[in-house]
């Protein structure tokens, strides 16, 4: 569970992205807003990642002196060092005298939280903007995703209780809302952003309309959702198009908290 300071750090990162123009909504059906020609953000957890900076992949060993000092001196709430190993393997997302954000891919995607979501990147942020700690640092991981704004992201899985056969044109999915929603499901708020079929794959991208209003943050249940294909599935692979690098959907069980 995040500490209040970690939530504050996330808020700093998100507000920074909005201030720099990195929180513009993507065009629905056009992953990453490519159709508009505008550099839209990626998302790492709740933090916006400028897609142009990510693609540039400027090595973190090129940090300016002040941001480099933030990285070297980063500590957690208890004053223990937050260490970034092998600086050259990290890329610079943003840097200033008050805040630095770095990212690097994991060697292999991994289910680090046991919920079926495969994380593929590590994120490091250090900032002076939380007051009493000279450089507050945080390491986290994420599945690097396209920004679905004004929708929010979700974990999309095949339903283990209804796995598709090659002859199927209706595919049963389970959708878990990523945003806080007081432990309620996402019924009636799931939107199919895009569905792209080729001879080799079916790529599905899904978002969720936010509920609105204050919410608490227990775990969310799964919500069943079906997609209809133009042709039988055959041997085509189902891909998660919400990710920057689409990969096969994982399988999951329905979860209810009733």
Q: How many CB atoms lie within 10 A of CB 163?
A: 11
What pTM, to 2 d.p., does this model score? 0.82
Instruction: Indicate the helix (H) or strand (E) that contains 6.
Output: helix 4-19
Rounded Cα gap, residues 37 and 83, in angstroms: 37
Instruction: Indicate the helix (H) or strand (E) that contains 158.
Output: strand 154-159
Q: Hey, is 206 helix, strand or coil?
A: strand
Scan for tokens 């509920």, then name that residue: 211
Q: pLDDT tens per residue, the chain (258 residues)? A: 344 455 445 444 443 443 333 333 332 333 333 333 335 689 999 899 999 999 999 999 999 999 999 999 999 989 999 999 999 999 999 999 999 999 999 999 999 988 899 999 999 999 999 878 899 999 999 999 999 999 999 999 999 999 999 999 999 999 999 999 999 999 999 999 999 999 999 999 999 999 989 999 989 999 999 999 999 999 999 999 999 999 999 999 999 987
Give the N- to C-terminal CA distance of the chain in Å, as an integer.
23
Residue 228's alpha-carbon distances to 156, 163, 211, 233, in angstroms, are 15, 14, 26, 10
Spatial contact of 24 and 33, defined as CB atoms under 8 Å apart: yes
Closest among 209, 211, 198 to 241, alpha carbons compared: 198
Rounded Cα gap, residues 22 and 51, in angstroms: 9
């Amino acid at each position: 569970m995040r500490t209040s300071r970690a939530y504050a750090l996330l808020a700093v990162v998100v507000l920074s992205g909005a201030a720099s123009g990195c929180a513009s909504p993507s065009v629905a059906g056009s992953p990453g807003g490519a159709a508009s020609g505008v550099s839209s953000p990626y998302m790492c957890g709740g933090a916006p990642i400028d897609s142009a900076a990510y693609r540039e992949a400027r090595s973190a060993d090129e940090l300016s002196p002040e941001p480099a000092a933030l990285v070297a001196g980063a500590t957690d709430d208890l004053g223990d060092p937050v260490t970034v190993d092998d600086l050259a393997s990290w890329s610079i997302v943003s840097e200033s005298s008050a805040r630095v954000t770095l990212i690097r891919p994991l060697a292999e995607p991994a289910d680090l939280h046991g919920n079926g979501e495969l994380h593929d990147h590590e994120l490091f942020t250090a900032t002076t903007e939380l007051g009493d700690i000279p450089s507050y640092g945080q390491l986290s991981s994420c599945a690097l995703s396209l920004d679905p704004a004004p929708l929010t992201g979700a974990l999309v899985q095949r339903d283990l209780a209804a796995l598709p056969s090659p002859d199927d044109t209706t595919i049963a999915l389970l959708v878990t809302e990523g945003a806080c929603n007081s432990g309620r499901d996402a019924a009636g708020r799931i939107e199919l952003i895009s569905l792209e079929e080729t001879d080799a794959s079916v790529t599905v991208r899904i978002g969720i309309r936010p509920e609105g209003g204050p919410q608490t943050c227990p775990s969310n249940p799964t919500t069943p959702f079906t997609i209809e294909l133009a042709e039988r599935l055959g041997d085509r692979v189902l891909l998660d198009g919400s990710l920057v690098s689409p990969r096969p959907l994982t399988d999951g069980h329905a979860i209810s908290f009733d």
